[in-house]
Structures are given as structure tokens and as C-alpha cells.
Structure 1
């Protein structure tokens, strides 16, 4: 019996299993940042042994879930039209970013509670770089403030997005109002 097809089949099965586990982790951790390995394995339709065969510990699983959420978010953000005046681009970027942040707030909480702070920052490097480039462009256009470091302004925007998501989760902001409030807040923070 040839071994190559069996090996390929096992690898494909393993990849499907990993994808199910990561998807279940994203779903479970997005609802509850304290979701257990048992909860995630059950949601993925696998046993603990299978899960631990692919992920040595909760930290690896949380990182994989966070990386997958950021990859999916990158696909959405890469579709945002970045042409035109910086203020208009900011609105389009915030509209797209807001929904992504709202979906993954609890997952971020899980990551912050599990991964080192530096690793969470590394995982967010792509979205941060896009925003940093936009802020610099807005400064060059004279529409964004230049009296504070760009990295600080980018961090403040990220804090606003995450804070708004927390306000949503606590029912202190209505979901239908939050996008507008985020945009108004960030525009006032960045205004020259």
C-alpha cells in the first residue's frame, strides 16, 4: 500500500482539525475570554488529546486564535480605499476597524491575559503600521496634529476603539451609535 496518499490525507486531516480548533477558539474566546480548553475542544468537535496534539498549551491556542482574527481583519482592512484626503481615509478606516475591534474585544482580553504584552503588540503591528502611515500623511497634509508623537496618537486611537468595544459589551453605548461616536472622538483627537 502506498504511503504518500495516506501521509497527505493525514496532513490534510490535521490541517482541517487545526482550522476547526482555531475557529472554535476564536468563537469561544470572543464570547468569554476565560473559556476553557474543554469548552474549545467541545466546540471544535475534538477531544482534549487532539487539541493538545496541535497546541501544547492555552497560550499557543490563544495566540493562534488572535493571529487568525488579525489575519481575517487584515483581509477586510486591505479592501479599504486609502486614496484621497487623509481625513476621508480615516473615516473609512475607522468604519471598517470598528466592526473588527467590536467582534474581537473579548478575544483581545484573553490574549492580554495570556500572552506577554510585547507579543500582543507584535501581532497588532500590521494594523498599527497602516494607521501610523495615515497619521503621518494627515500631518503632511496639515490636517492632523503634529505636537505629539505619532506612535502615541496611534495608541490613543487603538485605546478609543477598544474602549468603545468595552462600552458596547457593558451596554453603555448602543451598537448603532458607537461607530459615529468613535469617528467623532478620533477626529477630534487627531485634528490639527
Structure 2
């Protein structure tokens, strides 16, 4: 809270006056950032081949996530996973349409549910943020790592174990 107050140029008492807890502050910050991300992602072209459209969506999503690594880490620590999921619901609508098209075109597996694929995509993006935060991957490599992983994981065909 002291860091937030310092960054905002106000005292801790002022921050606590608006946000009684760190979790409430983080929640408000996540809501604010996701509203901005939602507006930005609306401009991503999701037409054309589904694999390419999904890759564009992932790259744009990572661009915004990569700018908010400390907030992603704080949210993972302070907020319940259900709350994080609910906050991302609006963002999930766009990849759903792309994934449905991809399944209809046979380029994405039809034995995976759309909700599962969206969950995997979300966790991969957040996992990449964690790996960048730990300096295990470079931020400039994250988007392509996510794209490669998602396109391989969502490819049609069953895996025999």
C-alpha cells in the first residue's frame, strides 16, 4: 500500500481511505486495467483463418499482459481464482468465436470443449507472466511461446497415452 501511495503521490492514509485492504486495491486496479484491455482488444482483427486470428488475439493479449506483470502477480496472490475468472469473462468472448470457427473448420480439436480451451489460454498467458517475472523467459519471447503452445495443444487429433 505504501508503494501504491508513493506512486500515486498521496499518503498511505489516503489510499486506505479509498481501499481498506490490499485485495480491494488490487481488485480495483485489475478492473480498471481489464476495461482498458477490453477496449484495445476490440480492435484486433479476428477474421480470416482461425489459427492466424487466434495468434493475433494472443499477441495482442500478451502485449497488454506484459505491461502489467506486477499487477498480474498481485492479482494471483490477492484475489480468489473465481474472482479473476469473473473479471476476465468479457475478454473471453472474442477467442470463443475464433475457437468455434476453428473447430467448425477442423483446425482446432473438437474433442476439447471451448470453455477448456479458453481456460488453457488464460492460464498460459498468466503462466507466461509468472515465468517472465521469474526471469525464466524474456518478455519479448512470451507471445510466440504462448502462440506455439496453444496452436499445438488445440490441433485436431487425439493423443494416445
Give the TM-score taking structure 1 as reference length. Answer: 0.74
Are 2:73 and 2:130, in contact at CA under 8 Å, matched by a contact in 1?
no
Please, which of 15, 18, 23 is the counterpart of residue 51 of structure 1? 15
Aligned to 1:129: 93
Question: Using the alignment, how far apart are the partners of 1:167 and 1:113 within structure 2?
Answer: 15
Task: Report which of the two structures shows the higher radius of gyration computed on alpha carbons.
Answer: 1
Deviation per residue, 1:29-80 (Å, 9 max, x gap): xxxxxxxx12211211112232223223222211110111111211221110
Are 2:45 and 2:53, in contact at CA under 8 Å, matched by a contact in 1?
yes
Please, which of 164, 167, 171 is the counterpart of residue 135 of structure 2? 171
Question: Using the alignment, how far apart are the partners of 1:80 and 1:134 within structure 2?
Answer: 12
Q: How many residues align?
A: 156
Question: Using the alignment, how far apart are the partners of 1:176 and 1:59 within structure 2?
Answer: 29
Are 2:44 and 2:57, in contact at CA under 8 Å, matched by a contact in 1?
yes
Change (3 A) 1:53 1:170: closer
Change (3 A) 1:115 1:169: closer
Aligned to 1:187: 151
Are 1:102 and 1:162, in contact at CA under 8 Å, matched by a contact in 2?
no
Deviation per residue, 1:91-115 (Å, 9 max, x gap): 1111101122222233122123222
Give the superposed CA RMSD. Answer: 1.6
Give the TM-score taking structure 2 as reference length. Answer: 0.87
SS in 1 for 2:47: coil
Please, which of 28, 31, 35 is the counterpart of residue 71 of structure 1? 35
Q: Which structure 2 segments of 5+ residues have no match?
A: 157-161
Q: Which structure 1 segments of 5+ residues have no match?
A: 1-36
Aligned to 2:67: 103
Question: Using the alignment, how far apart are the partners of 1:145 and 1:184 within structure 2?
Answer: 15
Query: Which stretch of structure 1 is more off in the superposition, 165-174 or 65-74?
Result: 165-174
